[in-house]
Amino acid sequence: MKKQLSLLLLAVSLLFSCNQEKPGGTLVTESFGEVNGQEVQLYTITFPGQLTAQVTNYGGIITSLQVPDRAGNLEHVVLGYDDLNSYQEGSYYFGALIGRFCNRIDQGIFELDGTSYELTANDGPNHLNGGREGFDKVVWEEVDQQINRDVISLTLQYLSPDGEEGYPGSLTGRVTYVFTPNALDITYQATTDKPTIVNLTQHTYFNLSGNAKEDVLEHELQLDATAFLPVDSTLIPTGEIRLVQTTPFDFTQPKLIGQDIDQDDQQILYGMGYDHCWILDGGITNTPRPVGSLFHPGSGRKMDIFTTEPALQVYSGNFLDGPIRGKDDQVYDTRYGLCLETQHYPDSPNQPDFPSVVLRPGEEYTSQTTYVFSVEE
């Protein structure tokens, strides 16, 4: 009897300790295919029952991210493809790292220290997201991985040669993805051997509904941003800094993306919806501070955004001219993903009043952004 009781106690305590101590995360590396004879990897990060992610060193692309809804169902919350070839041929920048300069530069031309530089024009007359073969279309080298129970990190590096896409200087770009059971943290670093410009970001399209069941119009967005940058018809900032108050761009209180996205407003017409840069309150910070959140009431999934950057490009997937066949047989259509790209202002090299994007030898460019996932009732 005594023996039976002690066995029962042991079983109960084991059950209790199992409940308390969830298993740690794992990182598995496998081949994702080849690019120009170079093997490319797919990294799978799993926190059982919690965040699960996949990253490839081709373009530093986050190919998959799954988090639970309020009932605990793990589902995809980012758009992506199943195979490497679709990423190579794709033009939507799904999940990719963007460099050397994200967003647009007017006519692809800028001046630095009295010299004029001409970058690839790959978006009508303008330079977009680093050019024809930007950081999203190159193979990054894996330089570190760390697995530490609830903190798993992967560091990728890319050496961009002097003159690539027209940019001056050899630039070493480094990105560290840190995954925890409920968050993704991204640190960007860069150094150069000649004066140059740099502005790195991440082009993940979020859709918190789960497995892209619907477009993003029923998501609630909140941004600590009292102003935004109006653009011209080619989406280049005019230089004006406009208050969001009384415009469709006011997200200072949580608001459905769909509420004002089709308003008869010149800026909305130019972007075909939201494709604008919001100026985040607080400017540039040393450590990431909260700047906003995205919430999907249907699933209960919420994502809080933290960054050191002074601005955020909100792009509501207006150019997703679907239907696009995505991963796991998902089908993406117009406005099925929302990009929340932390960054310095677009076209800054041509706007002396915008925060500087110049990087000089001996200096280090750094930027950090964290996306934290939770559920709300």
- Binding interface with ligand GLA (CB under 6 A): 92-93, 103, 128-129, 235, 275, 313, 315, 319, 339
Tokens read off for 294:
């995205």
Q: Which is nearer to ligand GLA, 35 or 339 (CB)?
A: 339
CA separation for the pair 21, 341 (Å, rounded):
35
Cα-to-chain-centroid distance, residue 129: 13
Closest approach of ligand GLA to the CB of residue 83, in Å = 20
Closest approach of ligand GLA to the CB of residue 332, in Å = 12
Residue 230's region, left for phi above 0, alpha for psi from -120 to 50, else beta, is: beta
68-100 per-residue burial string, b: 16 or more CB within 10 A, e: under 16 = bbeeeeebbbbbbbeebebbeebebbbbbbbbb
Non-local (6+) Cβ contacts of 162 within 8 A are 168, 169, 170, 193, 194
Closest approach of ligand GLA to the CB of residue 257, in Å = 15
Q: Which is nearer to ligand GLA, 46 or 126 (CB)?
A: 126
Non-local (6+) Cβ contacts of 148 within 8 A are none
Q: Which residue, 219, 208, 227, is CA-closest to 257?
A: 219
Backbone angles phi, psi at 148, to 5 degrees: -135, 70
Which listed residue (76, 203, 276, 296) is catalytic?
Answer: 203
Q: Which is nearer to ligand GLA, 51 or 98 (CB)?
A: 98
Q: Which is nearer to ligand GLA, 300 or 322 (CB)?
A: 322
Q: Which is nearer to ligand GLA, 170 or 318 (CB)?
A: 318
Whether 341 is catalytic:
yes
Question: Which residue has its beta carbon closest to ligand GLA?
Answer: 315
Rg (CA), the chain: 22
Whether 203 is catalytic:
yes
Closest approach of ligand GLA to the CB of residue 57, in Å = 21
- What is residue 238's three-state secondary structure? coil
- What is residue 2's three-state secondary structure? helix
Closest approach of ligand GLA to the CB of residue 92, in Å = 5
Closest approach of ligand GLA to the CB of residue 53, in Å = 21
Q: Which is nearer to ligand GLA, 215 or 275 (CB)?
A: 275
Concatenate the DSSP letters of all residues of 13-57 into one string: HHHHHHHHS----EEEEEEEEEETTEEEEEEEEE-TTS-EEEEES
Q: Which amino acid is at 212?
A: A
Where in the sequence numbering do the catalytic residues fall? 203, 341
